[in-house]
Structure 1
């Protein structure tokens, strides 16, 4: 019995002790090159409703309730969702736009965990018909949830890569809905 209690204490206590020494901040980034003009790529990603066609996260629950507030493609636009346990509940807001260069978003999670993350999607002309698209995400997980950062970083990076690959395929096949599809 005593050995069982010690083993149980180590199993529970070790991760909590490790979490004390882990960073609370995280950041992930992925990029791809799209064979399209930079302006065309940016004019597609600036519309958050288009994420329904390429973002792995937005596509996680096709039945989730969606709400839009403001003018899509402009600072202040909010896309809110409420879905199953995989999609959870939250909203993202366009917080800044640098024309033909950068889209800044704040993501506010409500469920399954409360939190905030910040993403930016940048476009940079590599050649006349080639655009580097970089998607970054940063955030903070307070103790003891910062232990999840070890697991999340790899998953988040993979999700960004999948989403960027979806975006690349859509844009290179001219399956775009610029401006954003209307509802």
Structure 2
């Protein structure tokens, strides 16, 4: 009986490992929102990392997180580091590309609770007196990160965070 249970357990673990291995290592999660403001007003809230605290989906999780800024106030080369509780961890965001009122691309590196990174891209498309904003996160996942995504729906969690951030960005910009 013990051998049968062990065999079934090993078969289930093997099936899970095979399933994870077959998952693509590249990922992309994208969401969008329309904001009732011109592109320059939306752009400045994304391009200047110092303004993220007002709308970032992660800013309120740990109000005691240590935040520091490097480089210029905004645009290419602007960087923000954070060190917070286990929910927000520790890492650095750096603006790697900034095309005024059109796009902002950010490299995000995590050092805690795990090492890794992602690319976070924003695009701004004017539509009359409104702006369509698209936010995507993309990159590649290691085996362990793919396993996490399978077990905990990591990409779904990422999508919820992006939705929350876009909703808060919309609120901040439209109330200004």
Please state which band the TM-score falls in when normalised by the shorter chain.
over 0.9
Q: What do residues 113-134 of structure 1 show as CA deviations (whole Å, max 9, x unaligned)?
A: 111100111111011x100011
Determine the structure 2 residue equivalent to 1:166.
168
Greater than 4 Å deviation, 4+ residue runs:
none
Q: What do residues 36-95 of structure 1 show as CA deviations (whole Å, max 9, x unaligned)?
A: 111111122211121111111233211111121111212111101111111011111010
Q: What do residues 98-146 of structure 1 show as CA deviations (whole Å, max 9, x unaligned)?
A: 111101100001111111100111111011x100011011011112422
Q: Matches of residues 29-68 of structure 1 in structure 2 within 5 Å?
A: 29-68=30-69
Q: Matches of residues 1-183 of structure 1 in structure 2 within 5 Å?
A: 1-127=2-128, 129-150=129-150, 151-174=153-176
Tell me, in whole angstroms, the C-alpha distance in 1 between the residues paired with 2:170 and 2:149.
28
Tell me, in whole angstroms, the C-alpha distance in 1 between the residues paired with 2:148 and 2:136.
18
Aligned residue for 1:59, secondary structure, equals coil
Aligned residue for 1:66, secondary structure, equals strand
Superposed CA RMSD in Å reads 1.4
Task: From the superposition, tell whether residues 6 and 56 of structure 1 become closer, same or farther in structure 2 (CA, over 3 Å).
Answer: same
Tell me, in whole angstroms, the C-alpha distance in 2 between the residues paired with 1:164 and 1:112.
25
Aligned residue for 2:53, secondary structure, equals helix
TM-score normalised per structure 1: 0.89
Report the CA distance between 1:10 and its aligned residue: 3.2
Question: Contact conserved, 1:57 with 1:87, CA < 8 A, in 2?
Answer: yes
| Structure 1 portions without partners, runs of 5+ | 175-183
Question: Contact conserved, 1:16 with 1:144, CA < 8 A, in 2?
Answer: no
The total of aligned residue pairs comes to: 173
